[in-house]
Amino acid sequence: MTHDLVIKGARVVSASGTTQCEIGIKDGVIATLGHDLASAEVIDATGLIALPGGIDSHVHISQPSGPGIEMADDFTTGTRAAACGGNTTVLPFCLPEEGQTLREAVAAYRAKAEGNCLTDVAFHLIVKETDPVTLGQDLPALIEAGYTSFKVFMTYQGLALSDRQILEVMSVAKAHGAMVMVHAENEDAIEFLRDRAERTGETAPYHHATTRPVPVEREATHRAISLAEIAGVPLTIVHVSNGEATEEIMRARQRGLTVFAETCPQYITLTADDLDRDGFEGAKYVCSPPPRTRDEWANIWRGIETGVFDLFSSDHCPFRFVDTAGKDAPGARQSFRNIPNGIPGVETRLPILFSEGVVKGRISLDRFAALTATNHARLYGLFPRKGAIMVGADADIALWDPTLTKPIRQSDLHHGSDYTPWEGFTVTGWPVRTLLRGVTTMQDGAPVAAAIGQHLTREAPDVLR
C-alpha cells in the first residue's frame, strides 16, 4: 500500500504499548503500524515521541457566564489554543441561555462551532432544569442523537440542583444510556461560609479558597456517589482537588460501584496561596474547587499514580484579567463572590503533566496517553475512532520533543485570555507538531491549518455498551 503520509523515526505510544515503528496514514486514518512503509510524503520524527492527540474532555468555550461577563474563548481561539497544546479533540459544555431549551441550545452551540474549529469537537450538556420537557423529551432525544454525557452541579446559584433533581437526571441517564458528570461542592455550606466571611470583611480573592474548604468537596463527593448508587448509574466526579474526596472515590470502588474520577493541572501545581498574591492578582487563580496545598498535590499524585484518576483534563474556563467582563467584573474587588470562576489551561495541560509526570518519573508514557486521550475517548463514546494510535483510528497524533525545556509564557500561548496562571513555570517536553486526521494543525508552536475540525457524533460510553 502507498500511504498519503508516513511518520518515521518516532517512538510510538500505541494502543498495544510503546515501540519504535512507522505510522502510515491514508485518507486521514492510521492504515499501518510497521516498517519501511511507502508514502508520497514523509515526516522525519527522529528523536520525537508520537502520542495520541490529546483529548480534553473538560473545557468551557463560549459558555454563557451571566450578565456582563464574557468567556475569553470562542471556538476559534479555544480550539486553536488546544491544537497548539497537542490536542486533537475537545469536549466543551453546552449550557442553555436564559429561556432557551436544551435542544435549542445545542443547535445554537453547533452553529457557533461550525467551520471555526482547529480540533474536532463534541459537546457535553449541562442540565440545570428538571422540568418535564427537559427530562421527558429534550434530554432523551439528545442522548439518542449522540450527546451521551451531561454535567450536573451541586454548587453555583442558578445551576445547582437539589439531591432530588440530581436523582431525576440520573434516572434519565440510566434509562437512555448516558454518563453523568458531577461538580461536587456543597452549595449551602459555601453560602454560609461566604456570607460569614463577607460580614467579617474577608472579601479578598484568597477567601474564595477559605470558603470552599476540603469538607465542602468531600461531603458533596460522598453524596454524589450515594445518589448514583441509589439511581444505579455510573458516575464521573470531575475536577477532584484533594485527598479526602479521592478517598471517597476509592471507597466507592471498593464497594463495587462504577465511579470515574478526573483531576486537573491546577491541583498538582497551584495552591490557595496563589489566590493571596498581591493586590488583585489572586483573582487570576480563582476557580472551583480552589487550588489547595502542597500536601494535597501529593495526595492527588498518589491518585494519579495508583489509577484512582482516569482522566486528566484542563477545566479550561478562560476569563480575561484586565477586563470588567472578566476577572475584574463589577464588584469583584469588593468581594471574591463576584469574580468569575475559572482559569485558562487548555494549551498547557499536556506539557504540565508530561513534565511533572513523565519526565519526573511518576507515570509511564502509556499511562500519560491513557490519562490524556484514551480514557477520555472510552468514557465519552469516542473510542475506537479516537484516543489511541492504532490501525483504523483517526490519524490524530501529537509529536513531542521530550527534551525541549522552556518556561510557560502568556506571549507564546494562543487562547483568548490575557494571562496564564503558569507564567514562568518551566516544563520539559513540548508537543512540536499536531496532526488532526493526518493534517498538521500546529507546527513549532504555531497554528498552521484552516479550521478543519469537525463535530463528532458520539456513541454511548464504553462502560454502558
Residue 191, CB-side half-sphere exposure with 13 Å CA sphere = 8
Q: How far is the CB of 238 from Zn ion (least distance, A)?
A: 6
How far is residue 192 from each of residues 124, 156, 243, measured CA to CA in Å?
Answer: 31, 13, 24
In terms of C-beta density within 10 A (0-12 exposed, 13-18 middle, 19 or more buried), how is residue 303 classed?
buried
Torsion of CA 359, 363, 367, 373, to 10 degrees: -50
Q: Is the CB of residue 91 less than 8 Å from the CB of residue 114?
A: no
Query: Cell 484552516 sits at which residue?
Result: 450
Asked if 109 and 443 count as a contact pair (C-beta separation under 8 A), the reply is no
Q: How far is the CB of 279 from Zn ion (least distance, A)?
A: 26
CB of 359 to ligand URP, least distance (A): 27
Kindly indicate which of the ranges 32-40, 47-55, 202-210, 260-268 contains the residues binding Zn ion, using the contact rule CB under 5 A: 32-40
- Of 234 and 345, CB closest to Zn ion: 345
Quote the least distance from Cβ 102 to ligand URP, whole Å.
Answer: 18
Q: Which is nearer to ligand URP, 134 or 266 (CB)?
A: 266
Cis geometry, peptide bond prior to residue 96 (ω within 30 degrees of 0):
no
- Find the shortest distance in angstroms from Cβ 400 to ligand URP: 27
- Say which residue the cell 460501584 belongs to: 257
- With CB under 5 A as the contact rule, which of the stretches 29-37, 61-69, 133-141, 299-307 interacts with Zn ion? 29-37
Task: Identify residues 4-63 at the interface with ligand URP (CB under 6 A).
Answer: 60
Work out whether 183 is an interface residue with ligand URP (CB under 6 A).
yes
The answer to whether 174 and 233 have CB atoms below 8 angstroms apart is yes
Rounded Cα–Cα distance for residues 166 and 174 (Å): 12
- Which of these ranges, 34-42, 290-298, 304-312, 356-364, lies near Zn ion under the rule CB under 5 A? 34-42
Beta pairing partners, 11: 20, 49
Contact status: 158 vs Zn ion (CB under 5 A): no
Q: Is 214 left (phi over 0), alpha (psi -120 to 50) or beta?
A: alpha
- Can residue 219 be called a binding residue for Zn ion (CB under 5 A)? no
Write the binding mask 179 to 198 for Zn ion: x where contact by CB under 5 A, - elsewhere: ----x---------------
Q: Which is nearer to Zn ion, 36 or 98 (CB)?
A: 36
Query: Minimal distance in Å, beta carbon 49 to ligand URP?
Result: 30
* Separation between Cα atoms, residue 74 and residue 156, nearest integer Å: 22
> From the list 248, 315, 328, 347, which residue makes contact with ligand URP (rule: CB under 6 A)?
315
The set of cell numbers assigned to 242 is: 484533594
Could you give the CA distance from residue 379 to residue 442 in angstroms, rounded to a whole number?
A: 26
Q: How far is CA 344 from CA 64, 194, 368, 424, in A?
A: 16, 24, 21, 15
Of 341 and 355, which CB lies nearer to ligand URP in the complex structure? 341
Using the contact rule CB under 5 A, the part of the chain among 36-44, 375-383, 421-429, 447-455 near Zn ion is 36-44
Closer CB to ligand URP, residue 79 or residue 288? 288
Task: Work out whether strand 38-44 and strand 446-447 pair parallel, antiparallel, or are unpaired.
Answer: unpaired
The answer to whether 315 contacts Zn ion (rule: CB under 5 A) is yes
Q: Out of 23, 169, 317, 398, name the contact with ligand URP by CB under 6 A.
A: 317
Q: Kindly state the smallest distance separating residue 43's Cβ from ligand URP, in Å.
A: 36
- Provide the grid cell at 187: 452549595
Q: How many CA atoms lie within 13 A of 330 on its CB side?
A: 4
Q: Which is nearer to ligand URP, 211 or 341 (CB)?
A: 341
The helix (H) or strand (E) run that includes residue 206 is helix 206-210
Question: Is residue 35 close enough to count as binding Zn ion by CB under 5 A?
Answer: yes
| Binding-site partner at residue 287 among Zn ion, ligand URP, none, CB < 5 to 8 Å by type | ligand URP
- Sign of CA pseudo-dihedral 416, 118, 75, 343: negative
CA–chain centroid gap for 373, Å, is 11
Total residues in contact with Zn ion, by rule CB under 5 A: 4
217 is a contact residue toward ligand URP (CB under 6 A):
no
Give the whole-angstrom CA distance, residue 183 versus residue 193: 19
Closest to ligand URP by CB, 246 or 288? 288
341 touches, from ligand URP, Zn ion, none (C-beta below 5 to 8 Å by class): ligand URP
Smallest gap, in angstroms, from Cβ of residue 388 to Zn ion?
21
Residue 35 interaction partner, one of Zn ion, ligand URP, none, beta carbon < 5-8 Å per kind: Zn ion
- CA 442 to CA 298: how far, in whole Å? 33
164 binds Zn ion (CB under 5 A): no
Q: How many residues bind ligand URP (CB under 6 A)?
A: 8
Site residues, ligand URP (CB under 6 A): 60, 183, 287-288, 315, 317, 341-342
Site residues, Zn ion (CB under 5 A): 35-36, 183, 315
